[in-house]
Amino acid sequence: MQQCEMLEYISALIDGELPAEEVQRVRQHLAECLECRSAHEDFLGTRQILRAHHPVRDAQLQQRARQKLFAKERERPWSQPISIPLPVAAVLALLFLIMAAALVRDQHSNFRAAHSAIIEKALPTSGDGEEEKMSLAAFDHGGRAVVYKSPQGEGAEQKR
Amino acid sequence: MRFRTVLFALIILSGLAETGRPAPERSPSNLEQNNRVRFKITAVELQGAGREVLSDSLIEGPPGVDFAIKLQSKHFRMNASFLTELTGDRLMIRADLETKRLLGMSERNLPIYEEDQQRHSFDLTLDEQLNILPFGGKDDLNQLRIEIIPSRGESESPPPSTKPRPLFIKILKQASEGLINIAAFKRPHHFNFEAELTEDGHAIARTGGALLLDDQQEFAFSPSEGGGQHPGTMAVAFRVDRFISAREGDEAVVGFDLYRVGAASGVREALASNWAGVCRLDEPFSYDVTSEYGGTPGRKYELRFVVRLAQ
């Protein structure tokens, strides 16, 4: 639907911005055009409502509003949102849990070491261990095991 | 995610990490630090005048560190365990040797083994060493010898706030044959033993004394005051085979024989042989010996004992 081309003059007529000859012409048009007359009545109604409104003048409220609007924002850093992606936060939490678990395990091993320490080390075998160990047979002449004490270094000077 | 939330999460997680941190331990005594003992265990092949080091290891730990050496091949196995006590410059070592040698197969194709057990006690100075010849043959040309050379541990003192240094094993030279297996232990050695013979719950005889781990000791009962009927000359041969450290309470594996010794003849009559059990330290443990003791008919006789760690 095409709007009336005189509609743009209605607002200017109400605001008193039209020259006298134009005022006459627009007023004549208003008498003939239903659309423009309706718009004219709407504008006048809105202005009447605005004039009828009496704003509350609360000095404290204004002060607070002014402070909020113009004061430099001084929010505490921890109240500011930061952007940490959820996967990163999850990884951080996991790292902390791993550290805690490692410390607990360390404590447990220290407890054991302090109270009843047992450590064991075996020299590694290479290849077919059983075959290698057979070399012990070269020393076995059927004798009984012997334990004895001697001065330190006995026989140590003989190096092959 | 808000910074406040992240901060809260970090505080909680830090708390969790804090609970996992080892509790501050008492600083080690100077005695313990200065009495650390070290054992160099070297397996050598001696061939005539020649000597070749096959493996070389180092054990170091607090005073009273024990260790075991195992040697195993297809036809031969040796378990040698050593209990050590360092007092001043004297080192007491109790050596237990067990060997098992495959001699061959029977007519029924079953293996025939030769087994041997030995226990020796040695009193060493720190300029002496212990030698094991697993296959004997002290005069043989070709010998395997395991040398155990004791010495003081590292002399440098750690800061007073640090925890006691744990024992460790360091392999200095590895034998490619997987010849030797070494284990080190720190376990209590000394215990106190108290026993009483009761008749219907009343002690009629008591005995007790000090015990060394895995060392059977005989204790003669003495009649207790107001104990009623004289129990005769009784004795118990008691030993702590093993110490078990448990969270609920330390325990000891014990074994004993109970004897009646003839007053005039001195003949020992075994009332109970090779009785054994696992008792909790510091708590009384009872055995019903009514049928073994043979006292007044209708009365109940018990052997009650308590084992404690010696201070």
Q: B215-258 pLDDT, tens per residue? A: 999 999 988 876 555 556 889 999 999 999 888 889 999 999 99
Query: In B, which residues are within 8 Å of A124 by CB distance?
Result: 174, 178
CA distance B67 to chain A (A): 9
Is pLDDT of B283 > 90? yes
Residue A141 tokens read as 């002449």
Q: Rounded mean pLDDT of B172-201?
A: 87
Q: How confident is the model at residue A157 (pLDDT cuts 50, 70, 90)?
A: very low
Tokens matching residue A63: 């002060």
Answer yes or no: is pLDDT of B30 > 90: no
Does A53 have pLDDT greater than 80? no
Minimum-distance CB partner of B73 among A79, A117, A133 = A133
* Domain definitions of chain A by residue range: 7-55, 85-122
Model pLDDT, residue A121: 54
The model's pTM: 0.61
**Measured CA distances, A133 to A70, A121, B73, B76, B114 (Å):** 89, 17, 5, 10, 19
- Max Cα-Cα span within chain A: 142
Q: Which of A116, A124, A132 sits opposite B245 (nearest CB)?
A: A116
Mean pLDDT for the stretch of residues B8-25: 49
Query: How close A89 gets to chain B, by Cα (Å)?
Result: 8
Say whether residue A135 is in contact with chain B using an 8 A CB cutoff: yes
**CA B126, CA A154: separation in Å to the nearest integer?**
14
pLDDT at A117 over 60: no
Q: What is the mean pLDDT of residues B290-294?
A: 86
Cα separation of B47 and B56, whole Å? 18
Is B250 strand, coil or helix?
A: coil
A71 to chain B, any CB pair closer than 8 A? The answer is no
**pLDDT surpasses 50 at B143:** yes
Residue A156 clears pLDDT 70, i.e. is over it: no
Q: Which residues of B233-271 are buried (b: 16+ CB within 10 A; e: fewer)?
A: bbbbbbbbeebeeeeeebbbebbbbbbbeeeeeeeeeeb
Q: How far is A141 from A143, CA to CA, in rounded Å?
A: 6
